Structure 1
Amino acid sequence: MFVLAELEDTVKIVPNDFGKNDNDAVTDALNVKYANKVVQEVGLCICVHDILSTSEGFILYGDGCSYIKATFRLTVFRPFVGEVLTGRIKSCSPNGVKVTMGFFDDIHIPGATLQPGSEFDPAEQVWVWNYDGEKLYMDIDEPIRFRVLREIFTDTTPTLHPTGGGGGSSGRRHSVADLSASNDLVANSIKIPPYALTCTIQEDGLGLLSWWGS
């Protein structure tokens, strides 16, 4: 569920942080930039795990800030396909069930990947599993166990139109954290998360924990 990802970035240290040692200053700056942000093809960044190396700091003329190139490792939420996780039901709709893990909400279980015999109850606004003549309701906030079918990364970085150069398409962007404020506005306006999981409960042992006595 959690992995370590190695990245490299140039960090800006403001004068107020010059009293810190380089490692602490770099760690704090990186956490501000990456924590709770999605890096494309990497996952949801939680926090800096450690700093592997740093360069000498350099100061730009007229700026006053120090810039340090750092190689570091991030603790990242990125379950592997096939992994079984546990969360809670956040909402239900005719399209399926949305699950939250508290810190990550973009988990979708489509109606087609629910237990066979499941149907959506429009009156209760929940899914119901019809099992041996019983109606097992998938109520909001119930603990649920599910398996990851696939992950979806969507680049929500705004399209830029430079006046010259820089328009090459070689490789992915290093991080969406670089334009986090703009990205959040775009993502919220079109309702497409930068990272999402599609999951299933269509096998024994998966679904509400109460169904299986665990």
Structure 2
Amino acid sequence: MFVVTTVFDTIRIPPLLLSMPTVQAVHSEIDQKYPNRVLMDVGLVVGRYGECARVGHGFCVSGDGGAHHECEFRLIVFRPFVEEVCLGRITKSTAEGIHVSIGFFVDIFIPAYWMLRPSHYEEKSGLWIWTPKYDDDEEDAEDEADDAASIRRRSSSVGLDENQALPPSMHIVASICEDGLGLTTWWAAPVEDDDDEDMKEEPKQEEN
């Protein structure tokens, strides 16, 4: 899910920061430029990893009062892979599907055709409902996918989009149409009551 990647870039130090130590100023500019930015064919940058491996000598550009340094540094990148299973929280439910967030990344979508079957969307509550049938003699159960609930999903596709008019973006399409996926509460083991445990204990025989 997370990788460390090496980046080579020319970092500009503005005149306001020229009084700072060079490495400190470079780190400050990297921390402003890269976090929450999508790098094509790499992923979503979370932050800088450690100090710069190399900071070149600064050079000036005509008409620019800043100093430019050729730098080599490492970044922590969020790069999910297809078929990866992880937890998230439901942020929104619509008839088209469920939107999921993992905190720092919110562009995860579970379409209606990749829900656990049989499932349906209830307009009144605005929630997706899974109706598993455990036994022919029992009535169908109804398990709601409540907003903010913890959900386990599998990544079906990871897209990195590049548009000349907009910054690159990343989105994930996921599925929950397998056993073990979906709300974590759906697959939690039932908790036995203390009374049931007491009933299971064998009665002690009285000594004569």
TM range (shorter): 0.7 to 0.9
Decide which of 120, 139, 142 is 1:135's aligned counterpart: 142
1:173 alignment counterpart: none
2:28 alignment counterpart: 28
Partner Cα separation in structure 2 for residue 140 and residue 121 of structure 1: 13
Shift of 1:49: 0.8
Q: Which amino acid aligns with 2:83?
A: G
Shift of 1:20: 2.8
**3-state secondary structure, aligned to 1:30:** helix
2:186 alignment counterpart: 211
Shift of 1:131: 1.0
Partner Cα separation in structure 1 for residue 126 and residue 150 of structure 2: 17
Q: Which amino acid aligns with 2:171?
A: A
1:202 alignment counterpart: 177
The alignment's C-alpha RMSD in Å is 1.6
Unpaired stretches in structure 2, ≥5 consecutive residues: 134-139, 190-208
1:114 alignment counterpart: 115
1:77 alignment counterpart: 78
Shift of 1:194: 1.2
Q: Which amino acid aligns with 2:128?
A: W
- Per-residue CA deviation, residues 126-150 of structure 1 (Å, 9 max, x unaligned), is 1110112111100110000111111
Decide which of 156, 171, 185 is 1:149's aligned counterpart: 156
- Percentage of identical aligned residues: 34
2:203 alignment counterpart: none
Q: Which amino acid aligns with 1:118?
A: S
Partner Cα separation in structure 2 for residue 143 and residue 80 of structure 1: 20
Matches within 5 A, 1:1-214: 1-50=1-50, 51-132=52-133, 133-158=140-165, 183=166, 194-213=169-188
**3-state secondary structure, aligned to 1:91:** strand
Shift of 1:64: 2.0
Q: Which has the higher contact order (CA 8 A, sep 6+)?
A: 1
Shift of 1:4: 1.0
Moved over 6 A (4+): none
**3-state secondary structure, aligned to 1:29:** helix
Query: Which deviates further from its counterpart, 105-114 or 59-68?
Result: 59-68
Partner Cα separation in structure 1 for residue 41 and residue 66 of structure 2: 31
| Normalised TM-score (structure 2) | 0.82
Equivalent pairs, count: 182
Q: Which amino acid aligns with 2:28?
A: D
Partner Cα separation in structure 2 for residue 156 and residue 129 of structure 1: 38
Q: Which amino acid aligns with 2:173?
A: T
Query: Which deviates further from its counterpart, 131-140 or 56-65?
Result: 56-65
**3-state secondary structure, aligned to 1:203:** coil
